[in-house]
Structure 1
C-alpha cells in the first residue's frame, strides 16, 4: 500500500512537470503564431506563471488531469479534461479582472488554450495507452488477489482500478459464497481453499483480505502462508456486519477512525478551496457589480416605498450561530419579519417582487460571504422561527447547519424555494441540503451557480 502511494506521489509530480513543460511550449508556439517570435514579453512571462499556477490548483484538488485511469470510459476522460479547462478558464478570467490584466492579447490567449488543450489531451491519450498496456501485460511487476467479494472487497477493487499504478495487475477474487449475479462474478477464481494453490502457480505478490474479521484462524493461516512464500498479506477491514451505511475511514496519528457520515468539507483542503473561491467571487461582485446596481436598486426602492434601502435580520448560520444577514428591502416596513413570505403577500412591494423573482435582493449577502458568515453556495439560512419549529419535526434538519449557509443552494436550483407551507416541502429542502453536504465538490458549486444565474434570467415561479 505504501509503495503504491509513493508511486502515485511521484507519478503526480511527474505529470505536473509534464504539464508545465507542455504549457511553456504552448506559450512559445502561440507567441510565435501571434507575433512571429519565440521570446515572450515580460507581461506574458508573468501571465505564464499565473496560468501555470491556476492549472496546478485545478489539476491538483479535483484529480481531473493528474489521473490516467485506464478503466474510466473515454467519454468520461474527455469530459474530465473539458471540465478542467472550463474551471481553469473561469478562475483565470477572474484573476485577469482582479489583477487588471485586460491588456493581454485575447488572440494569444485563444491560441494558448487551444494548443495547451491539444498537447495535454494528446499526452494523456498516450499515457493511457501505455498504462493499459503495462496493466494488462505479463510485464506487470506486482500481481495481487483479493479475498472476499463484499463491500470492502468491491471498494478496494475500485480503488485499485482507479489507481494510476501501471505496475500492479489484479488477478482475481476468492470467496466461498460469491454473488453469482455480481458483474465481477467472472473474476472469482475459486473459494478460499483454492487461494494457496492459485497464488503459487501464478506468482502472486500481494494478498488483500477483505472479509469480516470473524475468523482469526483463517487470517493467521493465510498470513503464515504469505510469510512463508514471500508474499505480502494485508487486511482490509470489512465493517459491513456492524455498520449499515456508507462511512469514511481515516487515520489520526495512526489511530483508525470511522466517520459515519460522508462530508467532503471535513477536509481542510476542501474548506480552503471553498473559502478562497468565496473571497474571490464575493470581492469581484462587490467591486464590479455592486457599485453599478446599488444606485439603481436604491433609487427604485426609495421611489416605491418608504423605509431603509437594506434589510437586516438575524439568521442561524453554521452550528446554529446567529449572524446579521443583509438583503435589499423588499417589503413595506412591518413587525412580522419572522413570518415567511407567501404568494401575493401584501407586505411585498412592487420593486421587491421583482428583486425577489430575480434574486437581486440577495446581492448584499456577498458582504456576509466576505465576512465568513455565509458562502456563495450552501444551504439557505432559514428564519430563527423555522429553526425552532423544524428542528423538532424533521429528523435531519439540524444536519444542514454543519456547513456554512449559502446565498444559493442545491435545494433552490432543484425547484425547492419559496414558501414552505407544507411539511414535505421543507423535508425535500433538507434532503437536498444533506445531499449537498455529502457530495460537495467544486464543480458542484459551479453547476449550482450556473443554474442560479440561469434561473435569474428566466425567472422563478416560486420566488415571491
Structure 2
C-alpha cells in the first residue's frame, strides 16, 4: 500500500520535471524499501505504543526525504523543485500515517469486539514478575493475549496447570503461541530443553528477568575481544551528540520566545507588577541545577515582598498578588526562565528545579530522588504535564513526581520532548487547577 501511494504521488508531482519518471519511481520504491528495512519501519507489534509508531514515521520520513533529493544532482536535465518535493513528502507521509494508524486501531478494535487475532500464552514460573505479566495480559485487552495458565516445578496452587513436563503436552493440545519463562524458576538444562522445544514447534519463547530494575533500563553491549559485557546507560541525555542536539534546540526555542514574546510581554508585565505592589519586577531564587550546581532561577514576581522564600506557594496563599494569581494560573510568571535556558542553566524540558529545602528533606528519603540532577532542570517536565505540579501535600506527591522525572531521564526521546511541550501548551490553554 505504501509503495502504491509513493508511486502514484511521484507520477503526478514529478512527471513534468524532465525526469525519466519510470526509473525515478523504481528508484523511490527501492529507496523506501531499503530505508524501511534498516529502520525497522514495519516492525510494529500489538504492544507497540503510539509514540513508537510516530517516532518510526519521523525517522523514515527524514531519511526518505534525503533519498528523494539525492537523485537530482545525478540528473543534469531534471528540474529541482523544492515545492514539489515538499508536497510529495507531506502528502505521502500523511497518507501512509493515516493508513498505518487506521490499520493499527482497526486491529485493536477487531481483537476487542470479535475476539480474534489473539495470541495464546503460558508462563513458566510463579513469581511476582510473572503474576504482574498475567495481570497485564488481563487488563490490556487491546493487546489480544489470552492467558492459559502457569507452569512451575517449585510451587503448587490452583492457578498452576502443571509442572514443566506437562507444559509441552499442554502447549501442543491448546495451540499455545508464546511461552514466557521466569529465569529464576528454571535450570540451565531446563532452559535449553525449552528453547529446543520452542524451536521444533515454532513457538515463541520470551524471558521474564527477575532483576526488573536493571533490565528496564537502557543496556549497552560491549565486546572485550569476543567476550560480551553488558553495561547500563543511565540516560541518552549524557551522550555527546544528544547533548549538542538538545542544546541547539534549547537555544533556538528560547531565542524565538525571548525575541517574539518576552520583548513585548516583559514591559507590559513590569508595569502591572509595579502598579500593584512595590518591589523588583523579577524574583530570583537559588535552585539546584545539573549535578546540584547552584544557579539563580528567574520568575516574574507574583508575591508581595516577604521574608519567606524557601516555601512553596499554597492554595489561597495570602502572599500572592492579584496579578500574581493570573500569572501563576497562566504560567506567565515562568517566562523569564527562557533566559535561564538561553544561558545554559536550564532546558526547555526536564525535571522542574526544586527548592534547596526540598532537596534536603527528600534527597535521602525517596529512592532515585538525586537522579533528577543527572540532567538540566526544565521549564516544563513530564511530572508537570502528568498532573504532579504545584503544592507537595504529602510525601506520596513527591514520590509520584520523582517517578515521572526518572522515567523521563531513562526514556528520553525527541518525540517525548515534543509531546511534553505540546501537553504544556494544552494545559495552559485549558487551565490547570494546581496552578496556584
Shorter-chain TM band: 0.5 to 0.7
Q: How does 1:145-294 map to 2 (within 5 A)?
A: 186=176, 240=209, 245-248=214-217, 249-252=219-222, 254=224, 256-259=229-232, 263-294=235-266
Seen in structure 2, the aligned counterparts of structure 1 residues 372 and 242 have a Cα distance that, compared at 3 Å, is same
Size of the aligned set, in residue pairs, is 334
Seen in structure 2, the aligned counterparts of structure 1 residues 242 and 364 have a Cα distance that, compared at 3 Å, is closer
Displacement after TM superposition at 1:178 (Å) = 6.0
Kept in 1: contact 2:352–2:381 (CA 8 A)? yes
Any idea what SS the aligned residue of 2:41 has? Answer: coil
Structure 2 residue 318 is the aligned partner of structure 1 residue 346 = yes
Kept in 2: contact 1:358–1:459 (CA 8 A)? yes
Displacement after TM superposition at 1:462 (Å) = 1.4
Seen in structure 2, the aligned counterparts of structure 1 residues 118 and 455 have a Cα distance that, compared at 3 Å, is closer
Seen in structure 2, the aligned counterparts of structure 1 residues 26 and 354 have a Cα distance that, compared at 3 Å, is same
Seen in structure 2, the aligned counterparts of structure 1 residues 88 and 344 have a Cα distance that, compared at 3 Å, is farther
Seen in structure 2, the aligned counterparts of structure 1 residues 343 and 187 have a Cα distance that, compared at 3 Å, is closer
TM-score (norm 2): 0.59
CA distance in 1, matches of 2:56, 2:189: 50
CA distance in 1, matches of 2:61, 2:276: 43
CA distance in 1, matches of 2:409, 2:342: 21
Any idea what SS the aligned residue of 1:331 has? Answer: coil
CA distance in 2, matches of 1:400, 1:181: 46
CA distance in 2, matches of 1:64, 1:366: 38
Residue 44 of structure 1 corresponds to which residue in structure 2? none
In structure 2, list runs of 5 or more residues that go unmatched. Answer: 20-31, 66-80, 102-122, 130-163, 193-206
From 374, 388, 399, the equivalent of 1:427 is 399
Any idea what SS the aligned residue of 2:221 has? Answer: strand
Kept in 1: contact 2:382–2:420 (CA 8 A)? yes
Displacement after TM superposition at 1:296 (Å) = 1.5
Displacement after TM superposition at 1:383 (Å) = 0.6
CA distance in 1, matches of 2:88, 2:17: 13
CA distance in 2, matches of 1:117, 1:414: 30
Displacement after TM superposition at 1:380 (Å) = 0.7
CA distance in 1, matches of 2:290, 2:415: 22
From 289, 293, 299, the equivalent of 1:321 is 293
In structure 1, list runs of 5 or more residues that go unmatched. Answer: 1-17, 41-55, 93-104, 126-147, 152-174, 190-209, 221-237
CA distance in 2, matches of 1:217, 1:458: 59
Aligned-residue Cα RMSD (Å) equals 5.2
Kept in 1: contact 2:41–2:57 (CA 8 A)? no
Kept in 2: contact 1:65–1:80 (CA 8 A)? no
CA distance in 1, matches of 2:432, 2:282: 23
Kept in 2: contact 1:68–1:124 (CA 8 A)? no
Displacement after TM superposition at 1:26 (Å) = 6.6
CA-to-partner distance for each residue in 1:145-171, whole Å, 9 max, x for gaps? Answer: xxx9899xxxxxxxxxxxxxxxxxxxx
Seen in structure 2, the aligned counterparts of structure 1 residues 121 and 414 have a Cα distance that, compared at 3 Å, is closer
TM-score (norm 1): 0.56
Q: How does 1:101-180 map to 2 (within 5 A)?
A: 111-117=87-93
Seen in structure 2, the aligned counterparts of structure 1 residues 29 and 335 have a Cα distance that, compared at 3 Å, is farther
Any idea what SS the aligned residue of 1:380 has? Answer: coil
Displacement after TM superposition at 1:315 (Å) = 0.5
